[in-house]
Structure 1
Amino acid sequence: MDKQILTLDKGTRCTSWNYSGQRLAAGLIDGSLAIYDATDPASSTFNCTSRFKVQESSIVKVVWVPPEFGDAVACIDADGTLSLWEEVIEDTEGHHWKLCKRFERSTSQVLDVQFGDCQTCLKLVAAYSDGQIRIYELLDTLELEKWQLQAEFQNVIDLVSKFGNASCMSASISWNPQRSELQQCSFVLGFNSNTPPLNSPKVWEFDLDHQRWLPVAELSLSEDNSDQVYAVAWAPNIGRPYELIAVATHKGISIWHLGSNPDPDGRLSANKVTTLSGHDDEVWQMEWDMSGMTLATTGGDGVVRLWQSNLNGVWQEQAVLAPAS
Structure 2
Amino acid sequence: MAKEVLTLDNGTTCSSWNYSGTRLAAGSADGTLSIFDSRDPPSSSSLRLSFKSKVHEGNIVKIVWVPPAYGDAVACISVDGIVSLLEEVVEDSQPLQWKICKCFGSSSDKVLDVQFGISLASLKMVAAYSDGHMKVFELLDPLELKNWQLQAEFQNVIESVSSFGKAVCLSASISFNPQNGGSQESSFLVGFNSNTSELNSAKVWEFDQAHQRWLPVAELAVAEDKGDQVYAVAWAPNIGRTYEIIAVATHKGLAIWHLGLNPDHDGRLPVERVAVLSGHDGMVWQMEWDMSGMTLATTGQDGMVRLWQSNLNGVWHQQAAFEPTS
| Range class of TM-score, shorter chain | over 0.9
The superposition leaves residues 62-107 of structure 1 with CA deviations (integer Å, 9 ceiling, x where unpaired) of: 1000011000000111110111000011223221111110124361
Partner of 1:52, secondary structure, is strand
Pairing of 1:70-109 with structure 2 (within 5 A)? 70-105=71-106, 107-109=108-110
What amino acid is aligned across from residue 275 of structure 1 in structure 2?
V
**Structure 2 residue 142 is the aligned partner of structure 1 residue 141:** yes
What are the equivalent positions in structure 2 for 1:15-26 lying under 5 Å apart?
15-26=15-26
Supply the AA of the counterpart residue of 1:216.
V
Paired with 1:180 and 1:5, the residues of 2 have a C-alpha distance of 33
**Residues 1:31 and 2:31 are matched in the alignment:** yes
On the 8 A contact 1:154/1:162 being kept in 2, the answer is no
Is 2:302 the counterpart of 1:295?
no
- SS at the partner of 1:230? strand
Aligned pairs for 1:1-325 (under 5 A) are 1-40=1-40, 41-105=42-106, 107-161=108-162, 163-179=164-180, 183-324=184-325
Q: Distance in 2 between matches of 1:320 and 1:60?
A: 24
TM-superposed deviation, 1:160:
2.7
Indicate if the aligned counterparts of 1:25 and 1:36 stay in contact, CA closer than 8 A: yes
* Distance in 1 separating the partners of 2:209 and 2:93: 45
| Structure 2 spans left out of the alignment, 5+ residues | none
TM-score between both structures, scaled by the size of structure 1: 0.97
Q: Separation in 1 of the partners of 2:68 and 2:182?
A: 20
| Cα pair distance change 1:208/1:106, threshold 3 Å | farther
Q: What is the DSSP-based 3-state SS (H/G/I as helix, E as strand, rest coil) of the residue aligned with 1:87?
A: strand
Structure 2 counterpart SS, 1:144: strand
Greater CA deviation, 46-55 or 210-219?
A: 46-55
> TM-score under structure 2 normalisation?
0.97
Alpha-carbon deviations, 1:117-175, whole Å to 9, x = none? 11230000000000000000000000000000000000000123354510000000000
- Measured on the aligned residues, the alpha-carbon RMSD in Å equals 1.4
Identity %: 67
Cα distance in 2 between the residues matched to 1:100 and 1:313:
46
1:302, CA displacement in angstroms? 0.9
Amino acid at match of 2:207: F
- Aligned partner of residue 68 in structure 1, secondary structure: helix
CA contact (8 A) 1:283 1:298 kept: yes
One-letter code of the match for 1:286?
A: M
Taking the aligned partners of 1:141 and 1:10, their CA distance within structure 2 comes to 37
Residue 108 of structure 1 and its aligned partner are, at CA, apart by: 2.1
CA distance in 2 between counterparts of 1:65 and 1:12 reads 21
Secondary structure of 2:146's aligned partner: coil
CA deviation string 1:260-280 (max 9, x = no partner): 011111110011011011111
Count of aligned residue pairs for this structure pair: 325
Letter matched to residue 309 of structure 2: Q
Read off the aligned partner of 2:210 and give its amino acid letter: D
Residues 255 and 273, structure 2, Cα contact 8 Å, conserved in 1 = yes
Higher mean alpha-carbon deviation, 105-114 vs 201-210, is at 105-114
Helix, strand or coil at the partner of 2:218: strand
- Unaligned 5+ segments in structure 1 are none
Separation of aligned partners in 1, 2:183 and 2:65: 26
Return the alpha-carbon distance in structure 2 between the equivalents of residues 311 and 74 of structure 1. 39
Give the letter for the 1:32 counterpart.
T
Q: Contact between 1:111 and 1:127, CA under 8 Å: does it hold in 2? A: yes
Query: Per-residue deviation at 1:53?
Result: 1.6
